[in-house]
A = this chain, B = another copy of it.
Amino acid sequence: MAMSTEPLTAERILVATEEVLRRHGPAKATVVDVARQLGVSHGSVYRHFRTKAALREAVTERWLNRSTDLLRAIASRRDLESAVVLRLWLSELFLAKMAKAGADPELFQTYEVLLRENSRVVEEHIGELVGQLTAIIHIGVERGEFAVPDTPAVAARAVFDATGRFHDPVYAAEWSRPSIRDDFGAVADLLLNGLKR
């Protein structure tokens, strides 16, 4: 058992949990494994996360939010045309997902299992992303660049749904196809054209 003098924070527990999930897989990983990884008692872990389910939910949320900050920074750019911001944002979302799936396929598969058991966290994450898209489209409408038949929020949801092939983990196996970037480009062109005033 490795001993540590660092204070036991929620963040350290989440880092260790991801490592344990990577090593044992989502079916076998236990809170005892996480405690052993940190050199603490499992009681110490439970003081931060009251149940195993709460720990799994928190680690899923942390993984999903890893790419959200960069996307939010893109969404808040005011120095570029809205069409450029929207295309950058969609590309960044796709590239971030591809990178996650490609760099560590086992961990990605592990998170696919966790996503299925944490639908509330997934809904919140999608809500955050659609919120960012809504902000981009709202500014575009204000500037007279975009026009939407309904509200910016409805258009944002439509853009998110229409690009699912390029961010929904169910399609991860297709992201290594050589044609996928062209496919993405064609969908992005069509959607941007659809938003143009």
User: How many angstroms from the CA of A191 to the CA of B159 in the assembled complex?
Assistant: 10
Interface residue? A162 (CB, 8 A): yes
Interface residue? A158 (CB, 8 A): yes
User: How many angstroms from the CA of A157 to the CA of B165 in the assembled complex?
Assistant: 12
User: How many angstroms from the CA of A149 to the CA of B159 in the assembled complex?
Assistant: 19
How many subunits of this chain does the assembly comprise? 2
Interface residue? A183 (CB, 8 A): yes
Beyond A162-B163, A165-B161, whether A190 also contacts B191 by CB under 8 A is yes
A184 → chain B, closest Cβ, in Å?
A: 9
User: How many angstroms from the CA of A162 to the CA of B187 in the assembled complex?
Assistant: 6
Beyond A164-B164, A165-B164, A170-B170, whether A189 also contacts B149 by CB under 8 A is yes
Interface residue? A155 (CB, 8 A): yes
User: How many angstroms from the CA of A159 to the CA of B183 in the assembled complex?
Assistant: 10
